[in-house]
């Protein structure tokens, strides 16, 4: 690679120019090599050695590489690090390169094997099993903006599912948050929002191009049979398909007919609400600790992916919700059916993703076997379910998709061995008896191998060398090997052996007979592999021709798995079937937070259930009480119960009645967003503004501590005004948690507002949090008690108590919240702390029931009080 224009360097640089900002995996033999800055980047991400190869422009060329056979693992790490990779493969053999050079008049010694980029690997275009998470969809989304109206196209190319949607520019963030795409395709220059993993492209996002692309992909003259798509939807679809065409270098993945998603058919939730409720991911980004992580009892990856979609997009269609609930109820009421279903589903491979790899041209014999096995198991499941009487409507709709593949499964069963391999280059995956010609070739090859074994025995006998062996490798083919000390005996001209190679401890030979047998094996083996490859392509064609029907079977199996998993979770936790209505009431008896309850159960602690009833005449609850008392948990659990019900599942409560919620808002907890120039308080106000501008009578809102990020007066004023607006203007169902006791006066002027609090009490100077909800306003603030419970130093708590006393006295005397603070001596805190400790000791003594103490208990109390009294006097 010396100099600046070697043929290989020129080829690499040409390909790198085509790869753009993608790392170029340049195939050289058994390795993918990377050069220049690509090598530096990859070496840093993969933690592999950075070396050099030759020079370019007078400078050493940085280089690193990864083995081809283990490239998938390295690709996965690069993709997770945010890299894109272009794969440059050898597209001709060395012999073909020499023949081409001869035709072009170039010396064969300088023939360079032709390479080309065969594929771009990006976060949203993965299909390989090793690169995907089995229980998480891998969505690719594209956005088209047509004069303020946004079209969104989203697909998971590993299964082919594709959806189109239209929204306003203001709704785009919420739509993309729901989709959770791994990669976003947008027009060049589009920067409406700071989304990560944006692939900006010059692709035409025009609606006409999108319509033409969809027609071409699905071989139809009109899209009317698929649905009614707006121009914005078609523009996004065009951009998405063009990007996939570029990534696959003209080879499109599996794309099923698109489905138009109506925003009115699903419960609207903004990004802040999704993050606050931790629906599919916890605050740390992981699955553990999220609603999905706690609810998921699916036994297949496809079911887990569908459950995540259900929870991300709860329904607002009453009939559709009832269909899901009826199927869950049917499985829930029959434990034996549930167990049988889950056992059969557990044996079913990921049919949808196997199909996706096959159609994308990346399939293997194992994928064909998975399609076969999945279809066979689906038919078995059909046999169990069709015998049910009074079947739910959704089950009746799913059953036809579980059968009807008899001819295909018969073909695949006859053609494939029981457990086909992942690699097909070595053959061996076509079953015996399927092709007589292939069987004969295998027989020839097998006979030749037996002949070689017999030849080895004969040569040992003839030469008297018991250690003589006939071996094989990829360079020499078959050869005869003897230890070095016997080499000379076979070197004579009349020995019949032809010397090939001398090793340190062995000598290798050939023979005419061995050469003839080796040729027979090679010829038969090559023809057998070619025959198997032809059968593979035929089977791929048959599967691809049935792609839509197979995909429908995969979708039906996933829905059954979700329903069975929901029934299993309900049986585990004593969950109930919710009653979903078209009014605006919410009524939960014994409601629980599923994630918190599970976490407490691991500590052998019982979760305290609470009721909640919101209706037109009592639609706004003002909830007070101490921090850590359970207010935030109570707010969130009610939102999650609504979400679970409208996703079509049972809920963690004794009883639940839910008037359909069209929009769900959660402003519980806050954090800053410094990257966008927003403080914690600014984030809080932005989220509150969104609620006030969007919530309607069918919405459900949970609000926690509005106004806490600013001064007390400002915060109270804002909280008061927000509560009034929700009561008078939005008129939605709302749970409003606050520490501002003054807001209890709102009950005098807001007839649909009621007061509630989480109970707590102090006993022997300690705060006891009861986690129970009660009617009425909180009787007092427990801030200092919580601070003491949290371990704040006692002198600081004592100082705070003194400040609080002055504040309350000043407010009572002058109406000024800060009156009297100037007269409070700072260094009196130590004396006041001592006095408070003495007060606590007095309280504890007064609380003692002396007559109930045993002599030993009395002595222990005396020792402890003496020790505490000594500490108080320090």
Tell me which residue of 131, 92, 117 sits closest to 32, measured CA to CA. Answer: 117
Query: Which of these ranges, 33-47, 530-544, 546-560, 794-808, has the smallest mean pLDDT?
Result: 794-808
The contacts of residue 756 (CB under 8 Å, 6+ apart) are 621, 622, 623, 624, 773, 774, 775, 776
Q: How far apart are CA 296 and CA 647, in angstroms?
A: 13
The band of 471, judged by pLDDT with boundaries at 50, 70 and 90, is very high
pLDDT digits (tens, 9 = 90+) for 484-527: 999 998 998 788 899 999 998 999 999 998 998 888 888 888 89
Q: How far apart are CA 174 and CA 177, in angstroms?
A: 5
pLDDT of residue 820: 44
DSSP structure class, residue 504: S
Q: Is it the case that residue 340 has pLDDT exceeding 70? A: yes
**Could you write out the DSSP letters of every residue in 420-452?**
--S--TT---BPTTS-HHHHHHHHHHHHHHHHH
Write phi, then psi, for 83 (nearest 5 degrees). -90, 155
Range 182-197 average pLDDT: 72
pLDDT digits (tens, 9 = 90+) for 45-78: 999 999 998 888 788 999 999 999 899 999 999 9
Q: Which residues pair with 587 in a beta bridge?
A: 613, 657
Q: How far apart are CA 483 and CA 77, in angstroms?
A: 46
Give SS3 for 679.
coil
Q: Strand pairing of 183-187 and 198-201?
A: parallel
Write phi, then psi, for 377 (nearest 5 degrees). -65, -35
Tell me which residue of 314, 303, 388, 319 sits closest to 568, measured CA to CA. Answer: 303
The band of 821, judged by pLDDT with boundaries at 50, 70 and 90, is very low
The band of 822, judged by pLDDT with boundaries at 50, 70 and 90, is very low
Range 292-313 average pLDDT: 97
Please, are residues 87 and 118 in contact by the beta-carbon 8 Å criterion? Answer: yes
Q: Is it the case that residue 823 has pLDDT exceeding 60? A: no
pLDDT digits (tens, 9 = 90+) for 225-244: 999 999 999 999 999 999 99
Q: How far apart are CA 462 and CA 476, in angstroms?
A: 24
Please, are residues 666 and 273 in contact by the beta-carbon 8 Å criterion? Answer: yes
- Does the annotation place 632 within a ligand binding site? yes
Joined tokens for residue 259: 């489905």
- Does the annotation place 626 within a ligand binding site? yes
Range 410-439 average pLDDT: 94
pLDDT digits (tens, 9 = 90+) for 789-816: 777 788 887 877 787 777 667 666 655 4
Q: Residue 204, Cβ neighbours under 10 Å: how many?
A: 15
Range 169-174 average pLDDT: 89
Element (H, E) at 376: helix 365-385
The band of 872, judged by pLDDT with boundaries at 50, 70 and 90, is very low
Q: What is the CATH number of domain 574-780?
A: 3.40.50.300
Q: How far apart are CA 378 and CA 226, in angstroms?
A: 26
Joined tokens for residue 480: 């005869």
Report residue 845 CA to chain centroid gap.
Answer: 57
The band of 874, judged by pLDDT with boundaries at 50, 70 and 90, is very low
Mean pLDDT, the chain, as a whole number? 88
Q: Is it the case that residue 452 has pLDDT exceeding 60? A: yes
DSSP structure class, residue 321: H
Q: What is the CATH number of domain 296-405+546-572?
A: 1.10.1420.10
pLDDT of residue 860: 79
Report residue 733 CA to chain centroid gap.
Answer: 32
Query: Which of these ranges, 199-213, 275-289, 559-573, has the smallest mean pLDDT?
Result: 199-213
Torsion of CA 420, 425, 430, 431, to 10 degrees: -70
The band of 2, judged by pLDDT with boundaries at 50, 70 and 90, is very low
Tell me which residue of 754, 737, 771 sits closest to 609, measured CA to CA. Answer: 771
Joined tokens for residue 167: 């929204």
Q: Which residue would you say has higher pLDDT here, 111 or 553?
A: 553
- Does the annotation place 816 within a ligand binding site? no
pLDDT of residue 675: 43
The band of 444, judged by pLDDT with boundaries at 50, 70 and 90, is confident
CATH 1.10.1420.10 domain residues, the chain: 296-405+546-572, 436-538
pLDDT of residue 497: 93
Give SS3 for 227.
coil
The helices-and-strands tally (H runs, E runs) of the chain is 27, 26
Range 196-207 average pLDDT: 69
Q: How far apart are CA 200 and CA 618, in angstroms?
A: 50
- Does the annotation place 625 within a ligand binding site? yes
Placement of tokens 């496809």 in the chain: 302
3-state SS, 449-511, equals HHHHHHHHHHHHHHHCCCCCEEEEECCCEEEEEEEHHHCHHHCCHHHCCEEEEECCCEEEEEC
Write phi, then psi, for 500 (nearest 5 degrees). -120, -40
pLDDT of residue 810: 65
- Does the annotation place 471 within a ligand binding site? no
Q: Is it the case that residue 785 has pLDDT exceeding 50? A: yes
Please, are residues 733 and 759 in contact by the beta-carbon 8 Å criterion? Answer: no
The band of 598, judged by pLDDT with boundaries at 50, 70 and 90, is very high
Joined tokens for residue 335: 């434990």
pLDDT digits (tens, 9 = 90+) for 356-368: 999 999 999 999 9
pTM: predicted TM-score of the whole model, two decimal places: 0.85
Please, are residues 113 and 99 in contact by the beta-carbon 8 Å criterion? Answer: no
- Does the annotation place 483 within a ligand binding site? no
Q: How far apart are CA 504 and CA 306, in angstroms?
A: 61
Joined tokens for residue 165: 């949607």
Q: Sheet with 498-502: list strands edge to edge.
A: 469-473, 477-483, 506-510, 498-502
Please, are residues 799 and 781 in contact by the beta-carbon 8 Å criterion? Answer: no
Q: Strand pairing of 664-667 and 700-704?
A: parallel
The contacts of residue 315 (CB under 8 Å, 6+ apart) are 265, 266, 267, 321, 324, 646, 647, 648
Q: How far apart are CA 450 and CA 467, in angstroms?
A: 19
Q: Is it the case that residue 170 has pLDDT exceeding 90? A: no
Above pLDDT 90, what percent of the chain? 64
Tell me which residue of 619, 713, 699, 711 sits closest to 667, measured CA to CA. Answer: 699
Range 638-664 average pLDDT: 98
Give SS3 for 502.
strand
Q: 519 to each of 164, 426, 449, 513, how far by Cα in Å?
A: 58, 17, 11, 10
Tell me which residue of 532, 520, 374, 541 sits closest to 451, measured CA to CA. Answer: 520
- Does the annotation place 659 within a ligand binding site? no
Q: What is the CATH number of domain 7-121?
A: 3.40.1170.10
* Burial profile 695-729: b = 16 or more Cβ within 10 angstroms, e = fewer: beebbbbbbbbbbbbeeeeebbebbbebbbebbee
Q: What is the sign of the dihedral through the CA atoms of 723, 725, 728 and 732? A: negative
3-state helix, strand, coil in the chain (%, to 5): 50, 20, 30
pLDDT of residue 588: 96
Q: Residue 848, Cβ neighbours under 10 Å: how many?
A: 14
Q: Residue 189, Cβ neighbours under 10 Å: how many?
A: 7
Q: 488 to each of 459, 485, 497, 649, 697, how far by Cα in Å?
A: 16, 7, 11, 82, 99
Q: At what angle do helices 594-602 and 631-646 cross, to 10 degrees?
A: 120
Range 432-448 average pLDDT: 89
Torsion of CA 632, 633, 634, 640, to 10 degrees: 110
Report residue 56 CA to chain centroid gap.
Answer: 43
pLDDT of residue 827: 43
Q: How far apart are CA 625 and CA 769, in angstroms?
A: 10
Joined tokens for residue 45: 């991400």
Q: Is it the case that residue 706 has pLDDT exceeding 60? A: yes
The band of 457, judged by pLDDT with boundaries at 50, 70 and 90, is very high
Q: How far apart are CA 781 and CA 285, in angstroms?
A: 34
Q: Is it the case that residue 593 has pLDDT exceeding 80? A: yes
Please, are residues 62 and 50 in contact by the beta-carbon 8 Å criterion? Answer: yes
pLDDT of residue 791: 75
pLDDT digits (tens, 9 = 90+) for 365-413: 999 999 999 999 999 999 999 999 999 999 999 999 999 899 999 999 9
Q: Residue 95, Cβ neighbours under 10 Å: how many?
A: 11
Query: Which of these ranges, 8-22, 73-87, 842-856, has the smallest mean pLDDT?
Result: 842-856
**Could you tell me which CATH class the domain 436-538 is placed in?**
mainly alpha
**Could you tell me which CATH class the domain 129-265 is placed in?**
alpha beta
- Does the annotation place 138 within a ligand binding site? no
Computed on alpha carbons and rounded to an integer, the radius of gyration of the chain in Å comes to: 36
Please, are residues 85 and 15 in contact by the beta-carbon 8 Å criterion? Answer: no
pLDDT of residue 24: 97
């Amino acid at each position: 690679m010396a100099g600046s224009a070697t043929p290989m360097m020129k080829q690499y640089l040409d390909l790198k120019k085509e790869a753009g900002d993608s790392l170029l995996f340049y195939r050289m033999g058994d390795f993918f090599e990377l050069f220049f800055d690509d090598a530096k980047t990859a070496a840093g991400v993969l933690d592999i050695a950075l070396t050099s190869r030759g020079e370019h422009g007078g400078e050493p060329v940085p280089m690193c590489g990864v083995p081809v056979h283990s490239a998938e693992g390295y690709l996965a790490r690069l993709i997770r690090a945010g890299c894109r990779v272009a794969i440059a493969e050898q597209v001709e053999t060395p012999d073909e390169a020499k023949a081409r050079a001869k035709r072009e008049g170039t010396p064969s010694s300088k023939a360079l094997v032709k390479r080309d980029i065969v594929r771009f690997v990006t976060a949203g275009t993965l299909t390989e099993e090793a690169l995907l998470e089995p229980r998480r969809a891998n969505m690719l989304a594209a956005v088209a903006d047509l004069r303020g109206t946004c079209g969104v196209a989203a697909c998971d190319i590993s299964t082919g599912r594709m959806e189109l949607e239209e929204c306003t520019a203001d709704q785009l963030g919420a739509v993309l948050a729901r989709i959770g795409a791994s990669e976003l395709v947008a027009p060049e220059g589009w920067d409406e929002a700071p989304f990560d993993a944006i692939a900006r492209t010059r692709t035409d996002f025009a609606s006409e191009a999108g319509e033409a692309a969809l027609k071409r992909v699905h071989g139809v003259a009109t899209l009317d049979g698929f649905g009614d798509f707006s121009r914005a939807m078609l523009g996004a679809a065009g951009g998405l398909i063009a990007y996939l065409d570029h990534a696959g270098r003209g080879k499109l993945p599996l794309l099923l007919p698109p489905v138009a998603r109506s925003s009115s058919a699903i419960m609207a939730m903004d990004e802040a609400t999704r993050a606050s409720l931790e629906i599919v991911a916890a605050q740390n980004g992981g699955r553990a600790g999220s609603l999905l992580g706690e609810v998921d009892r699916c036994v297949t990856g496809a079911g887990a992916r569908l459950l995540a979609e259900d929870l991300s997009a709860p329904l607002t269609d009453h009939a559709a919700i009832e269909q899901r609930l009826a199927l869950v109820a049917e499985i829930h009421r029959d434990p034996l059916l549930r167990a049988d279903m889950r056992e059969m589903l557990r044996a079913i491979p990921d049919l949808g993703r196997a199909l996706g790899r096959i159609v994308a041209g990346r399939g293997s014999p194992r994928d064909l076997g998975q399609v076969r096995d999945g279809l066979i198991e689906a038919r078995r499941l059909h046999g169990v379910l069709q015998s049910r009487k009074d079947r739910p409507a959704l089950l009746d709709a799913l059953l036809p998709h579980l059968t009807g593949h008899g001819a295909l499964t018969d073909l695949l069963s006859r053609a494939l061995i029981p457990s086909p391999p992942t690699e097909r280059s070595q053959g061996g995956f076509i079953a015996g008896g399927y092709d007589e010609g292939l069987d004969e070739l295998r027989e020839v090859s097998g006979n030749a191998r037996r002949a070689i074994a017999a030849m080895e025995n004969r040569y040992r006998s003839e030469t008297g060398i018991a250690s003589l062996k006939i071996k094989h490798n990829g360079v020499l083919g078959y050869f005869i090997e003897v230890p070095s000390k016997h080499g000379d005996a076979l070197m004579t001209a009349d020995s019949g052996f032809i010397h090939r190679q001398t090793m340190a401890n062995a000598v290798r030979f050939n023979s005419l007979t061995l050469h003839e047998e080796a040729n027979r094996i090679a010829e038969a083996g090559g023809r057998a592999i070619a025959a198997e490859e032809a059968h593979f392509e035929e089977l791929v064609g048959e599967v691809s021709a049935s792609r839509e029907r197979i995909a429908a079977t995969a979708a039906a199996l996933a829905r059954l798995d979700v329903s069975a998993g929901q029934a299993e979770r309900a049986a585990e936790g004593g969950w109930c079937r919710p009653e979903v209505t078209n009014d605006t009431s919410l009524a939960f008896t014994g409601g629980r937070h599923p994630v918190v309850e599970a976490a407490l159960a691991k500590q052998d602690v019982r979760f305290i259930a609470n009721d909640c009833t919101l209706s037109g005449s009592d639609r706004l609850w003002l909830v007070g009480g101490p921090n850590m008392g359970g207010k935030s948990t109570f707010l969130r659990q009610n939102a999650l119960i609504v979400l679970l019900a409208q996703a079509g599942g049972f809920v963690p409560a004794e009883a639940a009645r839910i008037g359909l919620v069209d929009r769900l808002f959660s402003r519980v907890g806050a954090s800053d967003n410094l990257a966008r120039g927003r403080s914690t308080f600014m984030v809080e106000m932005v989220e509150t503004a969104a609620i006030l501008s969007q919530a309607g009578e069918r919405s459900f809102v949970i609000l926690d501590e509005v106004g806490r990020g600013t001064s007390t007066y400002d915060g109270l004023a804002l909280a008061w005004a927000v509560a009034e607006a929700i009561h008078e203007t939005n008129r939605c169902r709302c749970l409003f948690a606050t520490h501002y006791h003054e807001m209890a006066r709102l009950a005098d002027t807001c007839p649909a507002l009621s007061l509630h609090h989480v109970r707590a009490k102090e006993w022997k100077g300690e705060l006891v949090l009861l986690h129970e909800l009660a009617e009425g306003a909180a009787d007092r603030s427990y801030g200092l008690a919580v601070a003491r419970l949290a371990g704040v130093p006692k002198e600081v708590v004592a100082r705070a108590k003194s400040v609080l006393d002055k504040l309350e006295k000043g407010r009572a005397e002058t109406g000024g919240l800060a009156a009297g603070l100037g007269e409070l001596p700072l260094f009196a805190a130590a004396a006041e702390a001592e006095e408070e400790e003495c007060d606590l000791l007095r309280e504890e003594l007064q609380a003692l029931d002396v007559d109930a103490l045993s002599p030993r208990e009395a002595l222990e109390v005396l020792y402890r009080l003496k020790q505490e009294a000594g500490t108080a006097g320090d």
